[in-house]
Amino acid sequence: MCGICGAYNFLTGKPVESELITEMTRTLIHRGPDGEGSYIKDSVGLGHCRLSVIDLSEAGKQPMSNEDGTIWITYNGEIYNYSELRRTLLQKGHVFRSYSDTETIIHLYEEFGVDCLGYLEGMFAFGLWDAKRRRLFLARDRIGIKPLCYYQDRSGIYFASELKAFLRIPSFSKTIDYHALYYYMLSLTVPTSSCIFKDVKKLEPGCFLVVEGGSVKKHKYWEISDIDNSLQSEEQIIGGLKDHLCRVVRSHLISDVPTGALLSGGLDSSSIVALAARNKSDRLETFSVTFKDVPAVDESGYAGMIAQRYNTIHNEYHVRYDFVDSLNRIIWHCDEPFAISSAFALFYIFRSATKKVKVILSGDGADELFAGYIRHNKRLLNPLSFVGRGSFKRFLQVYMSLCRGATKHLFLNNEAIKWIRRLINIFSPDDACYFDKVCYTSPYYLPAIFNAEFYNENLLTAHEEALSYFSEHYAAWQNSDDLNRRLFTDVKTTLVDEMLAKLDKISMAFGVEARVPFLDHRLVEFALGIPGRLKYGEMGEKQILRKAMEDYLPREILYRKKHGFNVPLGDWFAKDMVSFVNEYLSDSRIKGEGIFNPLFIESIVNRQLSGAGDYSTIIFEVLVWEMWYEKFMDSSI
């Protein structure tokens, strides 16, 4: 895993300055602490910081070229079938100078051009320069495990693993996209469809960009195939699922450096550990966090049970209250406002794990494939979604208008908001109802949270745009299975925007490569073809995965209630965060910025600290925004 960046002045032909590529690369050095390199030739420049995982020799350095130096690549990721591809390419006469997966992509491109992407199995983001064609080729993996963003100015185009690299570009303007802020306040993260900075775009999963002949063109090279497994028996599906899981875990263990696995004690991570331990020649290192001071969120007993069963070298790290320092670092590494509190748990794990391993397997993705969230329960889905979209849109506009004139007391009543959500969802279109269940913060809070003048000037159409992003994916699933429609939407939205963004940014903050076996694209297609009735049934969520793992996991793990990778935010606020919260959410600060409603913010903070209600999620997301603003907007970076 690595950090990549580059520039191509295709509009002006001006030479790329070596100092710029060096500065952009060094901004990403945490992603690749094992070395850095660059390739600069006239109007193109590529930068790379290396995390050595496959072929640790000097031959694996990047940027890397073909034999005659006409093709150069800067690449971040892991290609799990590179050995098979290498053998095929050798038979076709290609000459290799290393044993890295990077060089495999170069020769695959020589053989197939941009169609090389169809042969790659793994996670990746790369920039490839084809000097003969004067073509810059940018690509991202099918699911969106690895990030890639880009920015255009009057000279050309720039790309990077993280948007903070663009802050080194003289022409870059830090103009905020307030609709992205609105979406963040709903979901605690910024979606793939936008960026907190207006001029930056994220390359979507399964897409590539070609910059050639004075133009920039985006193409989609992959979409999830609608595989119908409904004609198979449940036993056949379980057998197929086992085969897929064993295959992908074996492939994800390929490495020339020490490899471990996250272990929370839940079904997903325990499944990965069980299969990895059985396929690894030496003992597997496992890692988990404990919250001994808050038993309600502590899962260390279950993690220990699996570690003992599979004789892993188990490492436990107790989470302490160094909240302020950790949050500052998390905000810096996440690039955009990101208020998913489980990032803390990952932060502590990877900070400690980096001393022992360079590669870690994670159980991310199983919830989205096998229905692991309470919102997937069909009893909670909308049975009365008979209102037309036009009527719902007009109703929502009227409601939001009334909200802006309502007293703050309504919005300070969590029970009132809960009943408002339930009532509105009864009459909402199905996609709008599901979107509301996905949101961490109710959209019916937001008119009260924001400053009224700011809301009227910047956010009147923000909710419609946010719902449109979600609904576009919801409508794309043509299968009649409603549960799989929701899971497909999760894979396209929350999985990429939240889970994978968090995993990449936090793991790479410490130079550790995180791998996600559940998100092998063939397993994803197989899983989304399993009938929904086999996923959420009498056994609760992820029923089919539980049955597939019966030979590997004890009943205490298989049938325990889903816990979630949570941290005790409310306890932290009550114990150590009073002065810190009051500093960042002070009346003068909120008024001066002019984005949020200072009376509302003051009220929820006071109620949280007095124990009158739990507003920790809203307080935390506003706190993260204020800290992000100070770090990225007010400073000179």
For residue 430, the model assigns a pLDDT of 82
Query: What pLDDT, in 10s, does the model give residues 160-215?
Result: 999 999 999 999 999 999 999 999 999 999 999 999 999 999 999 999 999 999 99
Q: DSSP for 468-530, please give it.
A: HHHHHHHHH--SS-HHHHHHHHHHHTHIIIIIIHHHHHHHHHTT-EEE-GGG-HHHHHHHHTS
Tell me the whole-structure pTM to 2 decimals.
0.92
Share of the chain above pLDDT 70, in %: 86
Distance CA 467, CA 201 (A): 19
Q: What is the DSSP string of 554-571?
A: -HHHHTSPP--S---HHH
Residues 316, 288 contacting (CB under 8 angstroms): yes
For 2-220, the fitting CATH number among 2.60.120.560, 3.60.20.10, 3.30.1300.10, 1.10.238.10 is: 3.60.20.10
Closest CA to 185 of 171, 196, 169: 196
Does the pLDDT at position 289 exceed 60?
A: yes
What mean pLDDT is predicted for residues 615-637?
A: 88
Q: For residue 408, what pLDDT band results from cuts at 50, 70 and 90?
A: very low
Nearest of 345, 300, 371 to residue 534 by alpha carbon: 371
The pLDDT of residue 232: 84
- Contacts made by residues 626-634, CB under 8 angstroms, sequence distance 24+: 626/584, 626/585, 626/589, 626/593, 627/327, 627/328, 627/331, 627/584, 628/331, 628/336, 628/337, 629/593, 631/328, 631/331, 631/332, 632/164, 632/167, 632/174, 633/174, 633/176
Q: What is the mean pLDDT of residues 96-111?
A: 94
Distance separating alpha carbons of residues 634 and 410, to the nearest angstrom: 34
With tokens 């199995």, the residue in question is: 121
> 576 versus 549: which is more confidently predicted?
549
Residue 575 binned pLDDT confidence (cut-offs 50, 70, 90): low
54 band by pLDDT with thresholds 50, 70 and 90: low
The answer as to CATH 3.40.50.620 being correct for domain 234-315+342-374+489-558 is yes
| Cα–Cα distance list, 242 to 177, 246, 259, 544 (Å) | 44, 6, 22, 10
Mean pLDDT of the chain: 88
Q: What is the pLDDT of residue 574?
A: 67
pLDDT number for residue 385: 45
For 426-452, write each residue's pLDDT tens digit: 666 788 888 888 898 877 778 889 999
State pLDDT tens for residues 75-85: 999 999 999 99
pLDDT tens-digit readout, 232-268: 899 999 999 999 999 999 999 998 888 999 999 999 9
Mean pLDDT for 444-461 is 90
Q: Which tokens in the block code for residue 492?
A: 């396209």
Long-range contacts of 413-419 (CB under 8 A, 24+ apart): 414/613, 414/614, 414/615, 417/442, 417/444, 417/445
Q: What is the pLDDT of residue 409?
A: 47
